[in-house]
Amino acid sequence: MRFMMIMYPKIYQTAKAGFVPNMKDMEKMGAYNDALGKAGVLLALDGLTPPATMSARVTFKDGKSKVTDGPFTEAKEVVGGFWIIQVKSVEEALEWASRIPGQDNEMVEVRRLFDMTDFEPDTQKYIQERFGDEWAETKPQ
């Protein structure tokens, strides 16, 4: 099962353009990321710059898109980064999320990614024909 763990760091709500995490926090997160890698569960990860550095929203209405530049001061939760992991169970994903070196009052959201077995057989066939082996890795282990 694949899961995305989405980090919401509180400091990003007020961080100015050009903000970067301090070395102490980077070392803690680096050790956590190393543990994910050594356990063989890490598929992808990355951090995001705070909205003050660059942010925009693309909204859709009546078949048209509209770009609105940020930052967006009304945002109460700001995504700071993510991990994609592949584990055997929801419980294992939650265990990994619980080990993230977060600060007080921060949050990590854990969401399961779709895999082929979530779709009806005709949809699976379409996906396989359209995307081929790119989706092969999403079959349950």
Q: Tell me: the pLDDT tens digits for 10-20?
A: 888 888 888 98
For position 96, which CATH number holds? 3.30.70.1060
pLDDT at residue 140, as a whole number: 45
Q: Which residues form the domain of 85?
A: 2-114
Report which residue type is found at 116: M
Mean pLDDT, to the nearest integer, of 31-47? 97
Helices (H), ranges, the chain:
23-39, 90-98, 121-131
Does residue 135 sit within a domain? no
Question: Rounded distance, CA 46 to CA 24, Å?
Answer: 18
Does residue 132 sit within a domain? no
Give the number of other Cβ atoms within 10 Å of residue 31's Cβ: 10
Task: For tokens 């709500």, name the residue.
Answer: 13
Rounded to 5°, angle at Cα 83 from 106 and 3: 100
pLDDT at residue 73, as a whole number: 72
Does residue 63 sit within a domain? yes
pLDDT at residue 32, as a whole number: 97
Q: For the chain, how many structural domains are there in total?
A: 1
Does residue 52 sit within a domain? yes
Q: Tell me: the pLDDT tens digits for 112-139?
A: 999 888 889 898 888 888 887 666 555 5
**pTM summary value:** 0.84
